[in-house]
Structure 1
Amino acid sequence: MKPIKLSIEGVFSYRTRQEIDFTKLSSEGIFGIFGNTGSGKSSIVEAIIFALYGKIERVSGKQIDLINLQSNKAVIDFEFEVSGKAYRVVVNLTRTSSGHSTKKLFYQKQEGQYRAMEEKISGEQLTGLSYDNFCRVVIIPQGKFQDFLTLTSGERTKMLKEIFPSLKKYDLSNTLRAMREETEGMQKEKMGQLNSYSEYTIEALNERKEQYAVVEQQYKDLEILIKNLKEDLDSRKTLFDAFKKQEELSQNFNRLKLNEENISALKDRLDQYRKTNRVFGSLLTKYDDLLLRKKRTSDLLSELSLQVADLEKKKQSLEEELAALQKENEQTPLQQQEADNLKTLADLRELESTMAILDTKMKDEQKRLENGKACVAAEENKKQNKEKEIADKESRLLNAEEFRSVRDWFAKNQRLNEDLARLRKENQDLCKKKNDCLAPFGDISPDNPEAELQQRLQDIEEQISKAENLLSDYNVKQALCQYSKALSSNEPCPLCGSLSHPHPAELADVDEHLKQIKSTIRDLKARKETLEKAVSSLDFYSKQIQSKQEQINSLQQDIETHKRQFVWANYLGKSSLEITQMENEDIRLQNELKELRSALAAIDRNIRKYSEALKQIENSVEQSRNALTKHQGRKEELGKNLSEEFVLQYAQVDVNQLNEQRQKLLAVLEKRNAVLAERNAVLSKQNAVLFQREGERNSCKQNLETIIGETDKCESEIERQIACGGFQSLESVRQILSSSFDEDDAQTQIDNFNRQMIEFSSQLAALSEQTSGKDRPAEENIKSDEQTLSQKEKEFKSCIANKGGIEKEINLFETKLSQKTELEKEMKKAEARLDALNKLSQMFKGDKFIQFISTVYLEQLCAKANERLQIITNNKFAIRYWEENFEVIDNLNSGKTRSLKTLSGGQIFQASLCMALALVDTIRLNSDTREDFFFLDEGFGTQDNESIELIFKSLVSLRQENKIVGLISHSEILKEKISYNIAVRLDQNEGSLIENNY
């Protein structure tokens, strides 16, 4: 459980509504709730407990006692978080004529809003903690847990059972009985399974392995025989195939030689074609290409000549049109001058209008400037009055540093007196507890009760020793009686071996005496335990009383020293009430000064605001004046460029008409210039095209002349080659080259013929060598051998199948035997388990094992407590649980152990704190609660500064464990160290008030 927000009203000393925001308060991991004794600090935690569980120890079942005596109702509104979910509980207690009424409702936060839960829900269901465990987890009961260290073993075991319900699970007698029955059933089941494996034996497995060895030998013999048959058959088949292939190749070779003449004629024709193509192929191609180029170039020349003539006519027409346009353009300068004058006149008219507007604006701003200066003067007057009033009140304030020292002196004086009263009350309570320890022993002298109790304890121990000796004697007598009763004639005595028994022992009332002695021993041990407990408690309370008295004496000295430290003459004779009244008056003056300074700051802001506005107005006036001056100069400059006649001519024409007339004139000029530029561009383009076409025509003419020359040279070369090569004419050459003769196909036929001739000759030679000197095998013998081989292969496959079947049986037997072995092992385990369970049943009788587990719990608690105790005490001592008691390990004395009673009061507190934190951690683990948040309700008034410093460091270190600690105390030292805290103050009129310091 982690608190989020608490609101209380009318609860105990809280008359008015008070709120605590735990989210902000606990943001640093540690926070404090501070206040004087009786101010209402612990009531905050009690309100939380009551809201969740509906009860607290203080009201003892009378819920009406929770309502403030001056209130008619009490309201607790508590928001908290459990396992990441937010909840809220609201409790309303109202006084009625018959007593009181209670209304309580839980809410859960869903979609950002709290929604009411079912009425039967409880705080224990939400937190997962019972009321007692919640008080142990959320509020560490240091004072109560200290008693835990001095309990007897039985009382401690009983307490641990209540704190840790899981200890009850160690009553395992029923569980062991069920486990024993389960083991016996399993043993019977395994025995039945073993019976089903009776046929699977080692002998049967060996028999099958022998069968497998015989079949394995058959398998190997057949494998060798089949291999030899295959090799011989393959050799004879290869020779037979060679003779057969030799006959086929001889026939093919003879057929190929019959085509030899046709191939020779084809070769002659191929040679003629290649010779003609080599001489005339490229020459005729070049000649045909030249003829084609000559025709195309001649056609292109004719077309270019026609284009040049057409372009020259167009050029002449454009030159005549441009001459006419240039004549019209001679009037352009006069028209441009008129357009510029119209623009100047329009600008002059617009400038005069702007100047008139600026003049009006400047006059308005001058009036605003005068009004602003009057406002500033009024605010300055207010400021002087406020400053005088502030100076008057400041002179009446107290000296803050001196008054703070005086107030702290009175606060400390009150705190010291309250601590003295508390210590005296605690000392009286300890004396009463000490006397209560002696109450059962009313006849003990009060002068030295410890010595008298020790003497009584020694007497009882002697009585127990005598009784135990007597018990041993009677046990022997009882055994003798049993032997005597068991004696019979002619049977040897178990003690002396004699066969005659003339005087057997007769001891009467032995059993009755044994019962009386055992009862006496039990009574004596009970009295001894009571005395030991009384001696321990008496020693403990004596040391506590001595420690308290030392604290009281020390505190009285502190009070006297504190009185001598009062050195402020101005406050001599003043009471705490007068000091408070003076402080209230000073606070009132400071509040009034705060308001006056706030008002003075507002006046200063107004003055700055008005001053800034005045500055802006002055800047605006200056800008307007500068603009008028600038416009006047521009106006005079524009007037110089216009003649009086021109101005009079357009006196009645407004600015828009002037601009319109100017735009029309500029449009005429622009159109004329555009046409002239366009015609010039067209003429330039025509000249470029004409120049390009003339160049192309000249180039084409030169190219045609070159082609005609090359054509003539080619014709001469062709005629020379015809004459030299013995060809009849150009037409006969073209006829040879243009025939449908396929040169590649002819060459392929020739190559294929030559290749086949070579291959056949080579293969025939190889086959002749392979068959030379050998007889041709008979085909019938080969077929007979193939049948024999097939028969042996069938026998081989049958052998493989038989081998596989036996191998499967062997694997099955081995698997079953392995399973059988495992079952036999499990049977032995079951027998051992059953034997162990019988022994455990004897061990778990009574509380023996629970006491053992309790010892483990206590040892773990000590280990966890020592982790923090070593930090708090600088590793001075540690705690251990040994032989059913707690002991101190003195690290400053070579780790020697001593009694827990030897610790001082402060050391007992440190040990109790660490044991309490360890208990909290353990309870959280056993209750499935994950929020590490708790309150530590302890004053620390009896601790010195060094101890408080160590305790504080230990609590701060808990932040590294993601724990949030809420400290409830009246220690000023801790208040100064914990920055996030709330102060609880008891006001006579308003009750307990909370002041947030975070």
Structure 2
Amino acid sequence: MKPIRLKISGLNSFTEEQVINFELLTEKGLFGIFGPTGSGKSTIIDAITLSMYGKIPRNSKDFINTDSLSTSVVYEFEIGVGTERRRYIVERNIKKDLKNGGYKTTLARLREITAEGEKVLAEKEREVHQKIVEIIGLTAEDFTRSVVLPQGKFSEFLKLSGRERRDMLERIFGLERYGNDLMEKVRKVKNEKALLLGMVNGELSHYEGVTEEALKEALAKLELLKEEEKNLSAEREELLKEREKLKEIWERQKELNQFLEKKRLLDEKASEIEVKRGKIEKARKALSVKPYIDSVEETEKKLLLNKKELEKHAKELEEVSAQLEKIEKDYEITFREKEEKIPLLIEKEERLKRAIQIRDEVQRLSEEREKLLTEYKNLESNIKRLEEEKEKLFLSIENLKKNIAEKEEKIVSIRISTEEKENVFKAFELEKEFERVKREREEKAHKIEEIEKLVEKQKGEHERIKVILAEKEEELQKEESSFNLLEVQKPLSSEELFNFQKELESKRLKLIEAQRNKELEEKLEKTLKEVLEEREKLVKELEKTEREYVEKGKALDALQKEIEEIVRKNMAGELAEGLEEGMPCPVCGSFHHINLAKKVDEKLIEEKKKLERDLRTEREILQEKLIMLKSQLSGFTAKEEISKAELEKAKENLRGIDLEILRKEIEEMEVKFKEEKEKLEDWAKEKEEKEKVLKRLKEEKGQLALEEARIKERLQKDLKLLEEYKLSFEGIEREYQSLLKELENWKEKLGYANFSEKVGEINQKEKLIEKLREEVESLKKNLEELNIKREKVLEDLNQLIVRKTQVVEVGKEKRSVLEKMQKELDSYSEGKDVKKYLEEVQKERAEILQRESFLKNRLEEERRKKQEIESKKVSTLENQILLTNMLKEQIEKLELSLSKEGFKTKEEALSFVISSEEMSEIEIEVKRFENEYTSLVANIERLEGFLKGRQIEEEHWNRLEERIRELEEILTGKRKEIGATEKAIHDMKENLKKVEELTKKKKELEHVIDMLEELDKLFQGNKFVDFIASKQLKYITFSASKRLKEISRGRYALEIDSENNFVMRDDFNGGVRRSVDTLSGGETFLTSLSLALALSSHIQLKGKAPLEFFFLDEGFGSLDSELLDVVMTSLERLKKDKMVVGIISHVEELKDRVPVKLIVTPPTVSGEGSKVRIEYT
């Protein structure tokens, strides 16, 4: 984790927002935070921890600034390596809970900064804490023990007990995956394997009875079943042949019996059909009469309705006349009332409106008089108040004048002369300048000593770097020569290899295409042969059908001629039957009729016509078949042409291609391609490795050259700086001696040993005089303000008295006017409420006008209604006469129609009327009966001719069918049994394989579970974690001990005892080992620092990102100058390990040892909080 930016406000001594730019602060690798005690240095660590974990390391409850209601911290940091590096911003706002005491978090938010913008990861206090622990991999306690070491926490890890230290190491180094996590994984896998074993055992239980013996028994059973099935099939075939011989006779016999039964039923129905024929005849006659009946009945209905309408109009006319007479009387009364009352009501309304105006004026004047009375009372009160205020102001003015005189006298008594003040201040300035020059002289002497040491050290470092740089240059030249040689030995290029591959792919495609064409050629030749064979069959079928069609045509022509001859003879016979002796023949005219023609039997004609129809049907079927066969032949011809064309195309594509030669060429090219590709890959891999080496050497050389240039530049700067400091020291020494002599002269002249104390005394007197003068000025201002106020009070008092006199006069005048107007109002209102009286008058006038208007409208409406009814009555009477005449004519027409159709009354005719649908149904039924009967007779004759007396007993046929059915059922059962047995045999063979596999799998699982049981026992009690943690602890201890030895110049070393607790070994005292609890402050600091640095350098945050940041806040005050120098040198070396180290101290000696400083200025008495600024050494 690397800090980027921190914003603090309202935390401890910080009030206004302060921004710390860690990117600038950490750019040199080592930085310090300096400031006096209480300035707020440690608050910076508090702010980082508070932003991330919501609490501060020192567990202070009063961490919000006393002048602030809330605190706000915003911390921006980076974490991760390479492409996995991420930047986050965590912020918290914490507010004082004034109501309940304590604090309340009002904002907690964690954001990630990405290329697309900011993304919020958590927005609740608990969620932010969990996410931070997830990202960094450290709890708040781990963080303050290993990354940020605040006051009081520095030696905590050193003194932790074994269990607590193991838990911390487990979290920091992610060892939980070797403890509970690994144990859970083992148990999870063990449970999964146990579940699989259970499943395998379950599957094996399904295959009980699956053995080789069972398989042999099943095979023997199958052979027996097949033999039985063969015998049953032979018997069934014999019976089927017998049934086929008898089948047609049985079916024709059944068909004849069905037709005979149908004929019997139709004979029974014949009398019913005759009745229906008569019903149809009567219905047709009734239908011709029905329109006349409908006309008469319709007119009679209209006459009845018209009569009722006439009676209704007469009654309505009588009612309307009576109502009209009543309304005319009411309207006359209302009209007279309107003419008499309306003028009087209008006059009264005008007088009452005037009364309302007077009443409003009286009310307004009364309100004004009341206001005057109120004003009079207020004036009396204000005059009294101002009189009292005037007396108080006179008294205050006298007291102020007395106070001013006293303070002016005191100023005169404490004043110091101007000459004395000037001399003291000159001597004081000289004294300050002397002290400054003295400090500067001492600092420059110390700095010259430091720079001389540093220059010597840098000279040695510069020589060492130059030697390493020359060695690196020689190594780089060797690698470049080797790389150039490799470039010369390059095999085929990627482009040449790609072109070769393209050529190979082209040949592969050519081979595939040729193979496809070969397969297509063989397929098309086969298809063409099949098409030709089918076409030949179709041609033969077509020729046969054409012959049959011609023969049927000839037969039809002969039959038609025969029918024509029979019909002609039949017509001659019918004509001969009608001839009478002595009457002329209509054909030849002869009167004597000899050798008369005889009629032909109708049955013969019908048979011939039926035969003609059958021939026509057969010929049409043959014609359709011809069309279909010609269409099929056309299709086969087209198919033949297409197949020939495709076959020719396939042969053309194969022309000039030898498949075997092409395959060999491809195989040779594939081998060559593989060899060349492997050569290129090996060459590229070797080149890449050499490029990496070259890049690394160039980078190392560049870093060394940069380091050499940097050291050289720093050495030159330090030499120049040393010269400048020496010249500057000579000048400051001369200035120091001169100032010392001058200061002694001033002390002797003025008689003061300490000018700063005298200046303080003068300043206090000056401040007191200034304060007294300010008070006098303030009192004079107050006196002036009181005089102005007194004048204002007197002026206001006079104005109030004048206004009081005016109010009294106006009040008298308004009272007189009010009395006069009240008398006029009483005369108009007649002692009533004016507004209500006016409303009553207006209401009465409106009601009279409304009533008159309503009756007038009613009168007009009733007159109009009466006129309408009279018109309707006349129209209805005319219609009555018209309908009566029409009815008479319609009755005459009806009687004539009834007589014509043979009905006596209209009721008789109506009894025979049926619907057209019913009539149509009866006609269809009669027609259907006739057609069905004719058809039945023909079919019975046809079947009797076919059977010619042959007959099969039903019992014999049923026995035959039953046996065939029994055999089929037995065969079906046998075949199913054979199929089931075959499937059982197949399944048994497969199951035998599965049993073998499952048995093998069972043994493997049992072996794995045994091993997992052993691992589970090993991991119980976190034994494995303890083992890894102890290894990590030994590694950290070794690293810390190495650093401690370096810092302590070989004296101290750090070890761990048998209980994994830390002990310190003192090699200057015979290697004696001491518990860390017995160490002094300085020893504890050195040991804790070494351990903390070792721990931090090995921390991998979340197991991925290295720790880039280490913060230290205590301990340097316990070290002497020599040891402090060793510690700082050790911290400076951490820059090479890419570790940023920050120290917090008030030790002045450290300031010049760190390249970048954050100076923290303490809060001021005026209320400003701590401030921060960055300085460079």
Query: TM-score of the superposition, structure 1-length normalised?
Result: 0.44
**Structure with greater Cα Rg:** 2
Q: Which structure dedicates a bigger proportion of its chain to helix? A: 2
